[in-house]
Amino acid sequence: MFSNSLKLSVAIAVGLFTPAVFAVDNSQIVYGETTRLDSYDAYTVHEAPGQRLGDLLFDSLVEVGAGGEYKPSLAKSWKVEDGGTAVLFELQTSAAWHPDATGKSEPVKPEDVVTTIRLLLSNQSDIPNRERFSAIKNAEKVSDTSVRIFFTRAMVDPLKATLFKIIPHHLLGAAPSLKRDSDFAKAPIGTGPYTFVKANNQGEVLLSANKKYFKGAPAIERIVMKSFADQSIMAQSLMYNSLDMITYVSPRDLGEVLGDAKLSVIPYDALSFSFFGLNTDRGILKDKRVRVALSHAINRQEMMEAFFQSKGRLISGPFPPTSWAYNLDVKTLTFDVERAKKMLKETGLVDKNGDGILETPAGKEIVLSFAVPLSGESEMIKRIVLAYQGYLEAVGVKLDLQFMDWLVWKKKVLEEHDYDITIASWSFDDASNITSLFHSSSARPWGNNFVMYKNSEVDSLLTEADATNDPDKRRAIYHKLHAILADDAPYTYLWTLMHHAAHNTRVSGVRVEPFSFFKHIVSWQLENKNVIK
């Protein structure tokens, strides 16, 4: 699935599916992630690791080739109809669903597409970025092997809206919505190159090769996803041969990984950025002036130099700087302590008792709760957060740091919105796909707009951008959105970093695309070397 997804994650590395002492298993690869997932269906997950897992388990109707052209997947052919308002798909007759609990495997049918779209459009489904499907109207079965998808408007590039994963009608046809705690989300059945075998509470997932995969059986028999509490521990596990691949190398570990002759490093632009999220529905953070003041209070350049060796770029708004939607005319906020203090004073916040901490006009001390996810960058996140705490204390704002497990963080922040400030990152497939981040309709439990930002002008502009087929108009709208969202400061925008994956050279044929990480997994091979761990 192509989507926005939270990058920060946390889990514990425990060898439950693979031996702890360590002869290489030449029938499987083990890869590392830094998120302990709690659903696996590719739709109800917020996290990038869930999207990568979805590439192994599910297929879409079409996929994007290396040159940007569309290639067959579950659909073997298609025809754009009625000026781009519909597409008729002819399905593969060789594609089938993974066997269910009874061992029965169903063929892929038009009903699967119809059910998928119905569930994606359901307001009751737990899909954090449901807004990205807003251009789809419905679907209808045309024949036993063909299905037509209708759009709400004429589309210049209608196939782009059909890159979603297909899910099974025979299991979900009667379901009113997709739920993150459903049996299907916990043990999904797809059509992809690997089948879901089991998962455990320690964050490991075991997959088995789909020997009847319609694109050809994978050469690697099993794949294990393992979760780690810290990126550096994960990198060390790769260097000491406890892992075959990691999907992200922290900048602080990159030099050491590059220096290991048995490892290959793959750079890629994840179209991502990091930010402090400010709950705009809480206390003093409702006031834009306070949010902007907190952004002026921190030295982001100093943090990037200290924590990432300057291997990144500061940003001024909610787009990666390599995106066509990024507005270069919007400048990053300066580090200006005196300006921050002045803005806070203008809102009525003053230090009445001289203890260095601001109080409200009613005399209440300003203490903001910071929900800190103990993620794969746990140590790095702690350092960043402690630096942030120091910067804010210098302008009279006290932080209550609340360190929490990733799954607890998700419930606290994404579901309950019970926090003042947090830290996270977004990764994108389409660098203009920010509707679910800032549209008021997504300010709901498990929505991507967990900062509870509501602005009617932003809603209108996002809707207008989604509705137009004119690229110049869309660019102009997003440049305006960039300026508004920089000025309103629902986030303190931080930086974007280049991403790197790394793998043991015993895995050959590896090609990585940022949002279809395992697209070419069928052609990956394992070589019989490095046989002692």
Q: Which helix (H) or strand (E) holds 426?
A: strand 421-427
- pLDDT value of position 471: 83
- How is residue 35 written in tokens? 């998120």
- Place 71 in a pLDDT band, splitting at 50, 70 and 90: very high
CATH classification at residue 358: 3.10.105.10
Q: How far is CA 379 from CA 137, 231, 384, in A?
A: 46, 9, 9
- How is residue 123 written in tokens? 């307001």
The secondary structure of residue 256, as a DSSP letter, is H
Residue 54 is assigned to a structural domain of this protein = no
Average pLDDT of the residues of the chain? 88
> 123 lies in which domain range?
59-182
Sign of CA dihedral 213, 218, 221, 226: negative
Chain segment 263-288, per-residue pLDDT in tens: 999 987 777 899 999 999 999 999 99
User: Is 320:272 a contact under the CB 8 Å cutoff?
Assistant: yes
Please name the residues in contact with 197: beta carbons below 8 A apart, sequence gap of 6 or more: 206, 207, 208
Residue 158 is assigned to a structural domain of this protein = yes
CATH classification at residue 126: 3.90.76.10
Chain segment 175-207, per-residue pLDDT in tens: 999 998 999 999 999 999 999 999 988 889 999
Residue 49 is assigned to a structural domain of this protein = no
Specify whether 67 is located in the same domain as 132.
Answer: yes
Specify whether 95 is located in the same domain as 154.
Answer: yes
DSSP state string for 383-417: HHHHHHHHHHHTTT-EEEEEEEEHHHHIIIIIIS-
- Is the pLDDT at 17 greater than 80? The verdict is no
Specify whether 504 is located in the same domain as 517.
Answer: yes
Say which residue, 348 or 527, is predicted with more confidence. Answer: 348
Specify whether 257 is located in the same domain as 279.
Answer: no
Residue 11 is assigned to a structural domain of this protein = yes
Specify whether 393 is located in the same domain as 529.
Answer: no
Please name the residues in contact with 161: beta carbons below 8 A apart, sequence gap of 6 or more: 133, 135, 136, 151, 155
The rounded distance, in Å, linking the Cα atoms of 495 and 317 is: 10
Residue 165 is assigned to a structural domain of this protein = yes
Residue 482 is assigned to a structural domain of this protein = yes
Specify whether 176 is located in the same domain as 101.
Answer: yes
73-79 average pLDDT score: 97
Specify whether 303 is located in the same domain as 168.
Answer: no
Specify whether 329 is located in the same domain as 408.
Answer: yes
Where does 255-324 show beta strands of DSSP type E?
Answer: 263-268, 272-278, 312-314
Specify whether 103 is located in the same domain as 167.
Answer: yes
* Domain termination site, one of 136, 160, 182: 182
Residue 45 is assigned to a structural domain of this protein = no
- pLDDT value of position 127: 87
Chain segment 48-67, per-residue pLDDT in tens: 888 889 999 999 999 987 76
Q: Which helix (H) or strand (E) holds 502?
A: strand 499-504
- Place 5 in a pLDDT band, splitting at 50, 70 and 90: very low
User: Is 166:191 a contact under the CB 8 Å cutoff?
Assistant: yes
DSSP state string for 118-157: HHHH-TTS--TTGGGGTTEEEEEEEETTEEEEEESS--SS
- pLDDT value of position 430: 59
CA triplet 320, 503, 233: central angle to 5 degrees?
A: 80
Structural domains counted in the chain = 3
* Domain termination site, one of 121, 147, 182: 182
Q: Phi-psi category of 363—alpha, beta or left, where left has phi over 0 and alpha has psi -120 to 50?
A: left
- Is the pLDDT at 360 greater than 70? The verdict is yes
Q: Which helix (H) or strand (E) holds 458?
A: helix 456-467
Please name the residues in contact with 345: beta carbons below 8 A apart, sequence gap of 6 or more: none
- Place 21 in a pLDDT band, splitting at 50, 70 and 90: very low
User: Is 17:227 a contact under the CB 8 Å cutoff?
Assistant: no
Specify whether 240 is located in the same domain as 289.
Answer: no
Chain segment 117-137, per-residue pLDDT in tens: 999 999 999 888 787 888 899
Specify whether 149 is located in the same domain as 176.
Answer: yes
- Is the pLDDT at 148 greater than 50? The verdict is yes
Residue 187 is assigned to a structural domain of this protein = no
C-alpha 395: how far from its chain's center?
A: 33
What percentage of the chain exceeds 70 in pLDDT? 92
Specify whether 431 is located in the same domain as 282.
Answer: yes
Chain segment 372-424, per-residue pLDDT in tens: 998 655 778 889 999 999 999 999 999 999 999 888 998 999 999 999 999 99
The rounded distance, in Å, linking the Cα atoms of 333 and 301 is: 11
Say which residue, 475 or 26, is predicted with more confidence. Answer: 475
Of 81-85, 181-185, 494-498, least confident by mean pLDDT is 494-498
C-alpha 195: how far from its chain's center?
A: 22
- Is the pLDDT at 477 greater than 60? The verdict is yes
